[in-house]
Structure 1
Amino acid sequence: MEILNYLKEEEIIAYFSMEIALFKEIPTYSGGLGVLAGDTVRSAADLSLPFVAITLLHRKGYFRQELTPDGNQIEHPVVWDVERLLTPLPQKVRVTIEGREVVIGAWVYVWRSVTGGKVPVIFLDTDLPENVESDRAITHYLYGGDRRYRLKQEIVLGIGGVRMLKALELSVRKYHINEGHAALLALELLRDEVSCQKEEKACLREVRNLCVFTTHTPVEAGHDRFPYDLVREVLGEPLPIDLLKKLGGKDELNMTLLALNLSGYVNGVAKRHSEVSRNMFPGYVIHSITNGVHTFTWTSPAFRELYDRYIPGWAHEPELLARVDVIPDELLWEAHQREKKSLIELVYEKTGILMEKEVFTLGFARRMTAYKRPTFIFADRERLIRIAKRQPFQVIFAGKAHPQDWEGKRLIQEIFKQARELHPHLKIAFLEDYDLEIAKRMVSGVDLWLNTPQKPFEASGTSGMKAAHNGVLHFSVLDGWWIEGCLEGITGWSIGSPPDEKTDDEARREVEDFYGKLEYAILPTFYNHREHWIRLMKNAIGKLAPYFNSHRMMKRYLSEAYFHQPALFTMNNQHV
């Protein structure tokens, strides 16, 4: 293809991610990791970077969510038209899995920016006639199956991805490992170095010069681990076992540890997350590049029109949104009301629940899992009812639970139960099958965005950044990006104590903060001081959007990671 031939003329950045969210019709994503990867691709194209993304072709997607009237989640495979949306590539490569040769093909989608920049996204595919039936299914499901299935996928992504880039004759300046799922790419690079019969330190140095690693999860269970017996059965012994254990962990292969030990630059996705990661993996230098969102993508149609009129150039230079004060208040409010009306129409279409445009609307949408605490709002139902009777508000939820996350599924059922029982006092809707399109409508159509994770388990969080681009205020626990973005009562509100403040009963403080600020600060300002509320909306746009965007994020990667030469490296607190 022309774009791939063009890229042969220069060294590229190769960005490996298990999921990438480009748009709804290519359902190869589940949540925040994939959405961030999609925004990364968009900004790389806008900035005309020599950039290629590598992921897997999940023919059956993550899943389509159906919810029963009681909130029971039913998962359905996603059927999508691969041949219509993607272009096949002629190159094929092979990897060894369970002693068998597995053939990997590739498809490409070229993301084109209005600036003229292009980024090819390569989708690796094992559903080929050369493979046995079980191997054809390796790339079918995103986050499906057991650990054996996951390890097979990571072999295809990491090892197969490196080999595919070689088959495409692309010269790679840096390999960016976006979360530990892709860490086996570094193992493949190291195997190539070792085969040249260089000494171990020289081989490690060469690989680290090539690799950048972004870790995304402060949750212990989120780091992929595989027993070495399983690794031998599925992967074989790509390196001497002593060296593999030195790099990946003594007792089992920890993909995060493997990436840490084979990357010259490592970063977390918020300042606080980097601190948490350094505590989890002491002795490693872990930098911080706070996530951002793609400004044009996540700005709603009504606000795009406003920005085009009053802040020309905003889409390519998001820092210009600091000039938001030039927009007349009445036009800003009118744009917000248009997006709110659109969201309320969507709620009615999908749920039959008729919400009111003049009523304060609160939104909560993200993966449904225990540490996100989606039912936090119901901690004190009697107080919730009292507040709603005096100052009415309505709530919109959305989100999927992983098919094997039984607690996450139970939380969805609990939200449905609470919605039924609170119905006379409070309207609550749950939008099923949360995807990119529903997310865009929600982050621009609600009045307040709620985020209540259990600290310190929010690595970054980006939905609140998207809301800020549309003048929607944020109300969140001080974790992830919000520690950096929160100016209390100016850009939004915090829930609970700061990370460095010790309290005897943090849970009680969080509950009191939530209800107290909702009742005495947020709702009275919305209903009684509309001019001040619009001032806060402008604060959210002008003080948050210019920084928390993926253009700024990518420029940081360019200056600190992609053109970075690693200094003396420490592994397990020892110089190597």
Structure 2
Amino acid sequence: MTRPNPALHRARIAYFSMEIALQPDIPTYSGGLGILAGDTMRSASDLELPMVFVTLVSRQGYLRQRIGADGGQIDDPDPWDPAAHARPLDAAVAVRIEGRTVWIRPWLYLHECPHGGCIPVILLDTRLEVNAPEDRAITDRLYGGDEALRLKQEIVLGIGGEAMLRALGLAIETWHMNEGHAALLALSLLRHIENGGDLLSPDRLEAVRERCVFTTHTPVEAGHDRFSYELVAEVLGDFIETGVLRRLAGEDMLNMTRLALSLSGWVNGVAARHAETARKMFPGYQIRAVTNGVHVPSWTHPAFAALFQTLAPEWGHDPQVLRRADRLPEAAVWAAHEQAKGELVEEVRRRTGVALRMDLPIMAFARRMTGYKRPDLLFSDIGRLRAIVREQPFQLLIAGKAHPRDEGGKAFIRSLHGMAAELADALPVVFLAGYDMSLARIMVAGADVWLNTPLPPLEASGTSGMKAALNGVPHLSVLDGWWVEAWEEGITGWAIGEDRDDPASHAGALYAKLEGQVLPLWHRDRPGWIRLMRQVIARTGSCFHSQGMMRRYATEAYLR
């Protein structure tokens, strides 16, 4: 066991997230929420912010996706060894779960950036011999198990995480909850406020709110964790009175989002449109907007990084300088894209045996497989799609995991494989299993068009299109999430349909846009396509980054 790293002692801001993408071979993330948290960590390190991040160790990962003979998803564990990447600290705290004492130990992971910044990440672990066998597995599998296990994980994250930072002697001034999973930490703060009095006294509540920041990501009702008070009483015990919980988190069920809203003095959605949606879902709360961003050096292909170096040596630290990308030589931009595309084509061949063509555009759709993402929108009219491909051929790459308990999402994956077989004589459709951080880096750099088809207003933000934009890949998307802010028709990409129109019209609008604008530009006007790529980098890549996002959090939320 070792003593805490000095980076811990300077931490004044604690960022809690159920999942964080630390690096590709540490599977402590499931998708966009964790990728965002990882990019937040990387930019916090770049900017040398006094932060510490807290998450679960998730020893068995989220899931390792395989595709069966019937095109169905097979969920395998994705284990990793914390000792290979982190080190244990000389501390332990206990929480009460179902009347039992559950001990938690911390692992310390350090992220160091090229500029010298260092961010500590605390990974909470219950796999200890001192714990009951059923409690050792609490932190094993990200989002694993039933509602009871989810509540136990959130107790470990929120209550255990808050206690752990106190045990480590950290003087945390600001507590940032990334989604409602960590909302129980605010209850711990409420209990520990030293001004006494009733838990619901205005002064006590305000003292907690002054210290808490909450970012909500979910415009989908089912995405907000809710627990019956019967389950809460059984699992959480007498940690806090049920009457207090009902006042703060909802009368009928414990709504973790409402709990976080009630105890946070600064709340934001993750795009302007999402904040608007969240205000309608939770009237009476002031919900600001801080649009998500991506960590520019992490998602830029090396060939484009070399080009950006000619614009400004500090482009990764200050991505706003990428607004000059429209000055890059056209031949150099196309050469960089061809290198990235060639690597994607080779990766597809290595994984699947399918040989995609360099001389045809590759359209990519990669995101969590679930209903509101509408992964089947492009296949709404097979006859129309065949007609388009016959005149203006392209290739399609699809990737994404379904949550282990999302049977609808798994059905989409089987259906997509069926459609791929049906279209095999006309349109190459390849599903890449095991979508993760490593594969995402290859796809966002090597695709020609990035496709996004969510059902509005259910896309909170989305960041994959931002990553693609850094590599000159234009976005073709429904107007929702971040795209409402970035969209300039024909300049940064294209919209599918009109803003706030009938979603039933989106399939037709998608076919029309492909047939009339996207594919003709690629096939018939290569100089025009390259100019578009330069504009995408200059106007999107220079704006939607986690450096700017973290500067906003620092000045508006943390230093208020």
Residue 537 (structure 1) aligned with residue 533 (structure 2): yes
Deviates more, 1:19-28 or 1:197-206: 197-206
Q: 1:24: how far off?
A: 1.4
Q: Quick one: distance in 2 between partners of 1:327 and 1:65?
A: 39
- Partner SS state of residue 172, structure 1: coil
Q: Partners in 1 of 2:408 and 2:355 — Cα distance?
A: 29
Give the corresponding residue for 1:111: 111
- 2:6 corresponds in structure 1 to 5
CA distance, structure 1, for counterparts of residue 416 and residue 353 of structure 2: 17
Distance 2:513 2:166 in 1: 56
For residues 340 and 311 of structure 1, what CA distance do their matches in structure 2 show?
Answer: 25
1:367 is matched with which residue? 368
**Residue 504 (structure 2) aligns with:** 507
Q: Secondary structure at the match of 1:103?
A: strand
Correspondence for 1:182: 182
Deviations 1:59-78 (A, max 9, x none): 10001011023311111111
- Is contact 1:475–1:493 with CA below 8 Å preserved after alignment? yes
Once residues 357 and 50 of structure 1 are traced to their aligned partners in structure 2, the CA distance between those partners, rounded to angstroms, is 46
Correspondence list, 1:37-116, <5 A: 37-116=37-116
Question: 2:245, 2:385 → 1: CA distance?
Answer: 54
- 2:374–2:453 Cα contact (<8 Å) kept: yes
The Cα offsets for residues 120-156 of structure 1, whole Å up to 9 and x where unpaired, read as 0110000001101100000011111111000000000
**Cα distance in structure 2, aligned partners of 1:195 and 1:104:** 28
1:573 matched to which residue of 2?
none
CA deviation after TM superposition for structure 1 residue 302, in Å: 1.1
SS in 2 for 1:434: coil
Task: Provide the residue aligned with 2:551 in structure 1.
Answer: 555
Question: Would you say the 8 A contact 1:274–1:287 is kept in 2?
Answer: yes
The Cα of 1:546 is off from its aligned counterpart by 1.4
Q: What is the DSSP-based 3-state SS (H/G/I as helix, E as strand, rest coil) of the residue aligned with 2:416?
A: helix
- Runs (4+) of structure 1 exceeding 4 A deviation are none
Contact 2:486–2:492 (CA under 8 A) maintained in structure 1: yes
8 A Cα contact 1:62 1:143, kept in partner: yes
Instruction: State the alpha-carbon separation in 1 of the partners of residues 26 and 95 from structure 2.
Output: 26
Take 2:116 and 2:56, find their aligned partners in 1: how far apart are those partners? 26
Counterpart check, 1:17 vs 2:12:
no
CA distance in 2: counterparts of 1:74 and 1:212, whole angstroms = 38
Separation in 2, partners of 1:240, 1:55: 26
Is the contact between residue 342 and residue 445 of structure 1 (CA under 8 Å) also seen in structure 2?
yes
2:456–2:503 contact (8 Å) kept in structure 1: no
User: For residues 97-496 of structure 1, what are the structure 2 equivalents within 5 Å?
Assistant: 97-193=97-193, 196-197=196-197, 200-496=201-497
Q: TM-score, length-normalised on structure 2?
A: 0.98
Q: Which runs of 5+ in 2 are unaligned?
A: none
**2:522 alignment counterpart:** 526
Distance, in Å, in 2 between the alignment partners of 1:295 and 1:257 is: 33
Percent of aligned positions with the same letter in both sequences? 53
Q: Which amino acid aligns with 1:52?
A: V
Distance 2:117 2:522 in 1: 42
| Cα 1:6–1:488 shift into 2, 3 Å | closer
SS at match of 1:108: strand
State the Cα deviation string for residues 210-250 of structure 1 (Å, max 9, x = none). 10000000000000001111111100132232221100110
CA distance in 2, matches of 1:239, 1:362: 52
Deviation, structure 1 residue 317: 0.5
Q: Which of 79-88 and 372-381 deviates more?
A: 79-88
DSSP-derived class of the 1:397 partner? strand
Residues 276-295 of structure 1, C-alpha deviations (whole Å, 9 max, x = no match): 00000001000000000000
CA contact (8 A) 2:7 2:119 kept: no
Residues 242-251 or 28-37, more deviating: 242-251
Q: CA deviation at 1:353?
A: 0.9
Note the C-alpha offset of 1:194. 7.0
**By how many angstroms is 1:312 displaced?**
2.1
TM-score by length of 1: 0.95
Change in Cα spacing, 1:323 to 1:305, as seen in structure 2 (3 Å) is same
Matches of 2:375 and 2:421, distance apart in 1: 16
Distance in 2, matches of 1:331 and 1:247, equals 57
User: Would you say the 8 A contact 1:363–1:448 is kept in 2?
Assistant: yes
Q: Partner amino acid for 1:388? A: V
Aligned with 1:90: secondary structure?
A: coil
Q: Give the deviation of 1:82 after TM superposition.
A: 1.8
For the 8 Å contact 1:311–1:323, the answer to whether it is kept is no
Tell me the matched-pair count.
Answer: 558
CA distance in 1, matches of 2:467, 2:425: 32
Give, as a single letter, the amino acid of the residue that structure 2 aligns with 1:161: G
More off after superposition, 482-491 vs 73-82: 73-82
- Structure 2 letter corresponding to 1:175: W
Instruction: Give the match for residue 572 of structure 1.
Output: none
Deviations 1:27-57 (A, max 9, x none): 0100000000000000000000001000001
Give per-residue Cα distances to partners, 1:99-128, cap 9 Å, x unaligned. Answer: 111000010110001010000011000000
CA contact (8 A) 2:455 2:503 kept: no
Aligned 8 A contact 2:395 2:429 in 1? yes
Question: For residues 11 and 342 of structure 1, what CA distance do their matches in structure 2 show?
Answer: 40
Structure 1 CA distance for aligned equivalents of residues 402 and 232 of structure 2: 29
- In 2, are the aligned partners of 1:3 and 1:118 still within 8 Å (CA)? no
Q: What is the distance in 2 between the residues matched to 1:68 and 1:310? A: 47
